[in-house]
């Protein structure tokens, strides 16, 4: 069954990017008529990548809550911390045009792209944190979508 699902999803253009395990709780096996955990694929179309600082903050906060800490003392930022999808794609295309090994235009900011961003930030005298932002796009001459 799993092989057939993989085959059909690949035929639709989806790409497996990892694996997941389900039914690890033995208490629900009888209810769902299963007798062991099950492995499945995770696909590029089913994963939402969080902006790295937001993901770190969310994981840290979850850890704090699990240890009995309360909620945030400061409200969550109203302004988004990540560039809009179209801006991230435009930046990826610009990096490719500049000769960087940027071949996928998916808006996902991976480790390789962060290295490219750092190089451009350094070249333009910006903070070299690897976080693409509007200031970098402006310095690189990348047209941004209107806010």
Of all residues in the chain, the percent with pLDDT exceeding 90 is: 41
What is the C-alpha to C-alpha distance for residues 29 and 5, in angstroms, rounded to an integer? Answer: 22
What's CA 88's distance to the chain center, in Å? 12
Q: Which helix (H) or strand (E) holds 38?
A: strand 38-43
CB-count burial class (<10 Å; 0-12, 13-18, 19+) for 133: middle
- Its pTM stands at 0.51
Q: How many CB atoms lie within 10 A of CB 35?
A: 10
User: CA–CA distance from 37 to each of 9, 22, 31, 34, 42 (Å)?
Assistant: 22, 6, 14, 8, 16
- What are 59-110's pLDDT values in tens digits? 888 888 888 888 877 776 666 667 888 999 999 999 999 999 999 898 888 8
């Amino acid at each position: 069954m799993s092989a057939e699902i993989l085959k059909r999803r690949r035929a639709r253009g989806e790409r497996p990017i990892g694996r997941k395990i389900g039914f690890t709780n033995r208490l629900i096996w009888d209810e769902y008529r299963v007798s062991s955990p099950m492995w499945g694929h995770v696909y590029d179309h089913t994963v939402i990548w969080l902006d790295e600082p937001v993901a770190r903050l969310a994981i840290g906060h979850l850890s704090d809550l699990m240890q009995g800490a309360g909620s945030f003392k400061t409200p969550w930022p109203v302004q988004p911390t990540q560039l809009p999808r179209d801006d991230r794609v435009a930046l990826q295309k610009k990096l490719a045009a500049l000769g960087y090994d940027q071949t996928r235009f998916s808006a996902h900011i991976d480790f390789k792209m962060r290295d490219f961003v750092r190089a451009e930030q350094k070249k333009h005298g910006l903070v070299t944190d690897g976080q693409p932002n509007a200031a970098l796009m402006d310095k690189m001459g990348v047209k941004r979508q209107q806010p």
